C-alpha cells in the first residue's frame, strides 16, 4: 500500500487508475515499464500524527499559494502541477478541487473574523468606493476600509468586491454600501467616503449622510485629459504616436526590426507602450517611451514598407516640453497611490506644488502649443482643486501633519481658521474630560502621556508651535 487513501470500488479499477495517475504518476510509470517499486512498509502508530501534521501543513501552504497568487481551484487537477508536487513530496495527497474550495472558504472566514475584531478596536474609519467593469463587461462595486490601529499603524482592508446587477443609480449604490457597512459592523464609525466625481457616487455618499471627499488622483486624471484634448497640435501628435505604437505592437516584422535597431544603437530592447483612454498617465508613458526610443523607432520605420508616418524633430521637441509639464502630475499621482501612508494631509501641499511647477515650467516653454497646454492645466487645476484649503477636513489634516503645519497653506487666513477650529474642538473635548495640570514636555513619551491624559488644548498648542 503506497498511501492511506480510500477509493470507491465499482467492479472495475477506473478509480484506482485515476488515483495513480494523479497522485503516484512515478509508480504508475514504473509499473508500465515493468519495474515495480517496493511497497513502503506500513507506518507505525507513532508516525501517524506526524504524517497528518505534514498533510495539514502542506494543505495550508497550498491555500496560501492559491490566495496570494489568485490561482484557480482547478490547479490541483493540472497534470504538470500534480507531477511537480509528487516530485517534491510523494507522500502528500493533493486535495480535490471541491476540498480546496472548502479550505479557501474556511481561510476567508477566519480572516474575516480577525478583521472584524480589528475593526471593533478602531474608533473611526474611512471608505473608498469605486465602480468598475470586468473584461466581460460585468459591473462590480469595490469598497475598501482605512483605519488606524491601536498601535498607531495605518491599516487597509477590502470589505468587498460585489457583482452589481442593478442599474448604477445613487439609491442602488447607497443600499449596496449600507449593506457592506452593516455586515462589517462599521456603520456608525465611517467618517467619510472617497469616490470619483460621478454624480451617482457623490449622491450615494450624501444619502448615507457621509462626508464626501473627491478622489484627488481622479481629479488629476480629468484635468490632464481635458488639457491634452484642448491642445490641437499635441492631440495630433498623440494620434500619430498611437499609430506608430500600434504598428510595432501588431506587426511581428515591425517589432523584430525595432529590436534589431535597438541592438545596433545600443539601446535597451524596451517595448513601446500604448495609450489607454481612461488613464492619462498611460499617455505620459507612451510619449516618454517614444521619446526615449526615438532613434531606433525612426530607423525601424525607415526600413519598413509602411505608410505609418514618423514623428518629426519638431514634434519630438513638443513631446519633450509636454513631458516636462506633465511630470509633476505623474509624480503627484504616484505619491497618492501609496497605501501605507496617509494622503489627506498631502492634498493642499500637492496642489500648491503643482501650481508652482506649472508656472515655472510654462515660462520655460519655447513652443506655443506647450505654453497653451500649461495654461489649460493651470485652469483645470484651479477649477477642480482651488477650493481645497476651504475643505475643513483637508485643512485640519494638513495643519496637524508635522511635515506641513501652517506652511502647507497658500492662504495664511485659511491656516489661522483651521488652527482656531482645532483649538475650539480641543477645548470642547477638555471640558468633557478630566484635565491634567500643565507640565513641561521634553520627550515623545511625555507628549504621548499628555495626549492620553486628554489635555488636548495644551497638546495642540505645543505641537503647532514647535
196-218 residue pLDDT tens = 999 999 999 999 999 999 999 99
How far apart CA 186 and CA 116 sit, in angstroms, is: 9
CA distances 330 to 280, 281, 354, 409, Å, are: 9, 7, 11, 22
Is residue 256 situated within a structural domain? yes
Is 456 in the same domain as 432? Answer: yes
Give the CATH number, domain containing residue 175: 3.30.420.40
**pLDDT (0 to 100) of residue 451:** 45
**pLDDT (0 to 100) of residue 227:** 95
Place of cell 485643512: 395
Q: In this structure, what DSSP letter does residue 279 have?
A: B
Q: What is the mean pLDDT of the chain?
A: 85
In the chain, % of residues over pLDDT 90: 60
Contacts of 53-60 with CB under 8 Å at 24 or more apart are 54/89, 54/91, 54/92, 55/92, 55/93, 58/89, 58/92, 59/95, 59/103
How far apart CA 374 and CA 368 sit, in angstroms, is: 10
Is 237 in the same domain as 344? Answer: yes
Is 288 in the same domain as 325? Answer: yes
The last residue of a domain, from among 158, 183, 214: 214
Q: Give the mean pLDDT of 387-416.
A: 89
Cβ of 330: how many Cβ atoms within 10 Å? 17
Is residue 6 situated within a structural domain? no
Mapped onto helix, strand or coil, the DSSP state of residue 154 is strand
Give the H or E element holding residue 163: strand 154-163
Is 26 in the same domain as 132? Answer: no
**pLDDT (0 to 100) of residue 459:** 44
**pLDDT (0 to 100) of residue 455:** 42
Q: Which domain does 353 fall in, by range?
A: 220-385
What are the beta bridge partners of residue 145? Answer: 127, 157
Is 31 in the same domain as 152? Answer: no
Supply the pTM of this predicted model: 0.75
The last residue of a domain, from among 327, 350, 385: 385
Q: Give the mean pLDDT of 441-465.
A: 43
CA distances 129 to 45, 119, 216, 340, 448, Å, are: 55, 18, 14, 18, 34
What are the beta bridge partners of residue 457? Answer: none
Q: In this structure, what DSSP letter does residue 208 have?
A: T
Is residue 2 situated within a structural domain? no
pLDDT band at 424 (very low <50, low <70, confident <90, very high): confident
Q: Give the mean pLDDT of 442-452.
A: 43
Is residue 400 situated within a structural domain? yes
How far apart CA 299 and CA 313 sit, in angstroms, is: 13
344-368 residue pLDDT tens = 899 999 999 999 999 888 877 778 8
Q: Provide the number of structural domains found in the chain.
A: 4
In the chain, % of residues over pLDDT 70: 82
Is 249 in the same domain as 327? Answer: yes
Whether the CB-CB separation of 387 and 248 falls below 8 Å is answered with no
Cβ of 327: how many Cβ atoms within 10 Å? 14
What region, left, alpha or beta, does residue 95 occupy, with left being phi > 0 and alpha being psi -120 to 50 degrees? beta
Which residues 6+ apart lie within 8 Å of 134 measured at CB?
140
Q: Give the mean pLDDT of 215-227.
A: 93
254-294 residue pLDDT tens = 999 999 999 999 999 999 999 988 888 899 999 999 999 99
Show the cell assigned to 85. 508536487
The last residue of a domain, from among 187, 214, 241: 214
Cβ of 81: how many Cβ atoms within 10 Å? 14
Amino acid at each position: 500500500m503506497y498511501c492511506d487513501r480510500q477509493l470507491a470500488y465499482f467492479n472495475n479499477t477506473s478509480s484506482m487508475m485515476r488515483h495513480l495517475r494523479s497522485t503516484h504518476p512515478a509508480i504508475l510509470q514504473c509499473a508500465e515499464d515493468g519495474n515495480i517499486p517496493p511497497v513502503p512498509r506500513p507506518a507505525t502508530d507513532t508516525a501517524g500524527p506526524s504524517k497528518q501534521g505534514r498533510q495539514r501543513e502542506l494543505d495550508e501552504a497550498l491555500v496560501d499559494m492559491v490566495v496570494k497568487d489568485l490561482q484557480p481551484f482547478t490547479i490541483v487537477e493540472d497534470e504538470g502541477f500534480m507531477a511537480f508536487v509528487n516530485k517534491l513530496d510523494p507522500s502528500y495527497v493533493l486535495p480535490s478541487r471541491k476540498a480546496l474550495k472548502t479550505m479557501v472558504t474556511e481561510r476567508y472566514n477566519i480572516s474575516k473574523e480577525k478583521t472584524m475584531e480589528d475593526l471593533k478596536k478602531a474608533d473611526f474609519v474611512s471608505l473608498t468606493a469605486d465602480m468598475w467593469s470586468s473584461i466581460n463587461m460585468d459591473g462590480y462595486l469595490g469598497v475598501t476600509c482605512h483605519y488606524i490601529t491601536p498601535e498607531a499603524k495605518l491599516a487597509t482592508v477590502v470589505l468587498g468586491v460585489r457583482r452589481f446587477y442593478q442599474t448604477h443609480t445613487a439609491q442602488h449604490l447607497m443600499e449596496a454600501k449600507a449593506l457592506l457597512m452593516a455586515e462589517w459592523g462599521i456603520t456608525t464609525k465611517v467618517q467619510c467616503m472617497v469616490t470619483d466625481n460621478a454624480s451617482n457616487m457623490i449622491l450615494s455618499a450624501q444619502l448615507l449622510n457621509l462626508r464626501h471627499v473627491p478622489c484627488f488622483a481622479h481629479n488629476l486624471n480629468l484635468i490632464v485629459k481635458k488639457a491634452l484634448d484642448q491642445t490641437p497640435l499635441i492631440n495630433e501628435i498623440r494620434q500619430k504616436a498611437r499609430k506608430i505604437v500600434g504598428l510595432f505592437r501588431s506587426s511581428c516584422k515591425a517589432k523584430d526590426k525595432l529590436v534589431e535597431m535597438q541592438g545596433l544603437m545600443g539601446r535597451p530592447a524596451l517595448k513601446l507602450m500604448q495609450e489607454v483612454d481612461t488613464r492619462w498617465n498611460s499617455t505620459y508613458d507612451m510619449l516618454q517611451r517614444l521619446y526615449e526610443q526615438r532613434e531606433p523607432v525612426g530607423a525601424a520605420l525607415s526600413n519598413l514598407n509602411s505608410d505609418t508616418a514618423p514623428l518629426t524633430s519638431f514634434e519630438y521637441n513638443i513631446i519633450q516640453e509636454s513631458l516636462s509639464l506633465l511630470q509633476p502630475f505623474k509624480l503627484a499621482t504616484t505619491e497618492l497611490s501609496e497605501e501605507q501612508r496617509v494622503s489627506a494631509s498631502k492634498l493642499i501641499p500637492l496642489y500648491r506644488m503643482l501650481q508652482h511647477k506649472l508656472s515655472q515650467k510654462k515660462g520655460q516653454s519655447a513652443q506655443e502649443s506647450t505654453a497653451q497646454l500649461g495654461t489649460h492645466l493651470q485652469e483645470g487645476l484651479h477649477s477642480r482643486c482651488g477650493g481645497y484649503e476651504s475643505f475643513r477636513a483637508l485643512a485640519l489634516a494638513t495643519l496637524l501633519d508635522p511635515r506641513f503645519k501652517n506652511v502647507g497653506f497658500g492662504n495664511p487666513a485659511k491656516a489661522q481658521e483651521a488652527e482656531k477650529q482645532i483649538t475650539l474642538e480641543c477645548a470642547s473635548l477638555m471640558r468633557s474630560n478630566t484635565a491634567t495640570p500643565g507640565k513641561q514636555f521634553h520627550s515623545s513619551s511625555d507628549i504621548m502621556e499628555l495626549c492620553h491624559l486628554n489635555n488636548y488644548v495644551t497638546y495642540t498648542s505645543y505641537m503647532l508651535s514647535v
